Every structure is written in C-alpha cells, then in structure tokens.
Amino acid sequence: MRIVLSGGGTGGHIYPAVAVARQLEAEESGSAFLYIGGKRGLESRLVAQENLPFKAIDITGFRRKLSMDNVKTVMRFLRGVKASKEMLREFKPDVVIGTGGYVCGPVVYAASRLGIPTLIHEQNAIPGLTNKFLSRYADTVAVSFEGTESAFPSGKNVIYTGNPRATTVTAASPKRGYASLGIPDGSTVVLVVGGSGGAKAINRAMIEMTPFVGKGNGVHYVYVTGESYFEETRKTLRQKLGGEPSWLHILPYVHNMPEVLACTSLIVNRAGASFLAEITALGIPSVLIPSPNVTNNHQEANARQLEREGAAVVLLEKDLTGQALHEAVQQIIGSQSLRSSMAESSRRLGKRDSAALVVSELRRLVATRKK
C-alpha cells in the first residue's frame, strides 16, 4: 500500500501518524510512505528521526479573532492545496490519512479533490477546527474517545478506533525503563511530566511539593522539567532540599518515554490525547492537570473522560499547589487497592488495538475505491 501521512504542530498529531505507518510496515512489508508536514512545525524534525520520507508545505493556522493575518492564511491554504496536489500526483498514494493540525487541511482537501480515499483521525474529546472542516470531505472520520462520534456531521462514516499511539507503547520494556533511570527493578515510580516542553505551573507545584515528600518513603519521583526549565528548576530544588536526594530524579527530557512509562506506577501529567492513549494502553493511574491554554479547553474534556471511568484524578491548574498535588499523589500511591482499581480502569480504556483498527479501515477504503 502507498500511503500519505499528514499531521503536525505537536507530537500529539505526529506520533499517531507514525504509529499507523509502523503498523502498516508490520502487516505489509512493501508499503511506501510520504509524510507531508509544515515547514515550521515540530514534524519537520521528528519525522526525519523516524526515517519516513518528508516533504513540507508552507501553511499557518487561522486566528480566532478577525485579522488580516487570516487573509494571508487563506492564500497559504490555496497555495498549500496546489503544492499538495503536485506531491500527490507524483507519489500516487492509495490513501491519505490526516491526524490533526492545520497542515492536514490542504493535504486532505487536495486528496479529496483528486478522488483519493481519505481518513482523518481526531485525538481529542472536542474536535479541532481543521478536522471539523475536513470532516465534510473525508471518507472516514476516526475518533479516540467513545461517545464523541456525534461531534461530527450525521451521515458521515465515523468510527471509534482509539488513538493509534497507544499501540506503540504496549511492547515497551519496564526493565529498560528502570535501567535508563538508574532505579532498581520493581521500584514504585511516580512520573511527573508537563508535556514535551514542560509546564511552568506543574514545575512550580513540584518545587512546592518536594518538602512534603520527606525521604520518599521508598517511592522514586522522576521529575521531567522540560529543557527550558531544567537548569533553574534543578538549582532551586537542590537549594531547597540541600542537594539532590536519591529518591528524586530530575531530567530535562525523556527520549525513551514508552520504556519509562512501562515502569511507572503513577503519572502526573497534562491531558494531551496521545499521552492519555499511552498511559491507558499500559494501565497507569494518573493525576491529570489539564492545560487551560488550549483551544476549546479540550484537555479538560479529555481528562474528564478518564476521571468518569475511575482511571484518573483531575486537578485543575487554578487549584494546583504543592500541597494539593502531594495529597492527590499520596491518596493513590498510599492505597494499593485504589491504585489497582484505577490501573484496571485505565487498562480497560486502552485495550483497543487502535493502530490495527485504523489500518483495517484504510484497507477497506482502498478496496472500495478499486471496485
């Protein structure tokens, strides 16, 4: 199968597309790929690391306020459609999949105009602006959260697949995770991370929280600050604690996140859809602190889905303090029965083989076209 992938801006849009590519490679060794992303997006760097052929178009997103910049965005969109059509005609894909971010707009739209089967995947509980637009043109809409199918137009082929990113973490090795952190096998690990770039509010709360932790009580706290916050945060913590205790592991970034997640007992994190897919695939209980600075407050909607199922505790940023975070963590980590119950609820949410379901639908679209 020849497949064009498109998704960009954040890892949450990029990694699901990569997961679909890896699933298709495993099922069909002769598959060929082209990833079309934006010139300015994170995908220009991440996709190259995944050894997938990459081409870029120049595109930006719409501003939600009236602005002359939106006129420029429309012009970039039209030029992006033209450029995408040229790339699609040259590559001759069997199917095109968009996994979110404004770069998908011209790519998926161009594919639909050329009669190429298309699928878009929505990671969040509340659909993004680009996917709402593309749902009018795509052949299939896939969603990550059960019950969100109604957010798209009636009459469309909308299917619940879960998030393809979940599939990639299930084979991760806990042993390698422990080894990479320098923590003994079987230890209890609380992972605190504010997304790939870190989160100032979570960093502040973690600094406030560490004195409450005492000597760790046998629990290892792995604290990922984000690269831009690392030096200042580590310096502050060392001054506050009189050094860096053996139970606290301060890191700027984690490159082997699936393996670290595989050895994690409890995670404190934002509520990006791809990360939630990973933690539910592994059955990890969570304390979720949704970012308030996202479109339509979709992270809180994501987090509430896990909270309703008993897989997470939600702590809003406006209520976030070191003491509140410590109490939420201790409530879970201090009760084996609660942690086991939350883990089971988390695992139940993540049990779908999401990447395989998406690939199955891609095959159906290709077969339908050939008929």
Residue in this structure with the two tokens 């993004």, named with its chain if needed: 128
Residues in the annotated binding site: 10-12, 124, 196, 299
Please tell me the predicted confidence (pLDDT) of residue 295: 80
218 secondary structure, DSSP code: T
One digit per residue, the tens of pLDDT, for the chain of length 371 reads: 999 999 988 888 999 999 999 999 999 989 999 999 998 888 988 898 899 999 999 887 655 565 656 667 788 889 999 999 999 999 999 999 999 998 999 999 999 999 999 999 999 998 988 999 999 999 999 999 988 898 898 778 999 999 998 888 888 999 999 999 999 999 999 999 987 777 889 999 999 998 888 777 889 999 999 898 999 999 999 998 888 899 999 999 998 999 999 999 999 999 988 889 999 999 999 999 999 988 889 999 999 999 999 999 999 999 999 999 999 999 999 999 999 999 999 999 888 889 999 999 999 999 998 76
Please tell me the predicted confidence (pLDDT) of residue 160: 94
Please tell me the predicted confidence (pLDDT) of residue 346: 96
Residue 365: name the closest of 106, 119, 36 by CA: 119
Residue 51 neighbours by CB under 8 Å, 6+ apart = none
Distance CA 131, CA 126 (A): 10
Map residue 35 onto helix, strand or coil.
Answer: strand
- Beta carbons within 10 angstroms of residue 43's beta carbon: 30
Helices 200-213 and 322-333 sit at what angle, rounded to 10 degrees?
Answer: 60
Please tell me the predicted confidence (pLDDT) of residue 217: 81
Distance CA 75, CA 77 (A): 5
Residues in the annotated binding site for UDP-N-acetyl-alpha-D-glucosamine: 10-12, 124, 196, 299
Distance CA 136, CA 227 (A): 40
pTM (predicted TM-score): 0.82
Domains observed in the chain: 2-162+352-370 (3.40.50.2000), 169-349 (3.40.50.2000)
User: Which residues share a beta bridge with 190?
Assistant: 221, 266
Distance CA 290, CA 44 (A): 27
CA contacts within 13 A on the Cβ side of 280: 33
How many residues in the chain?
371
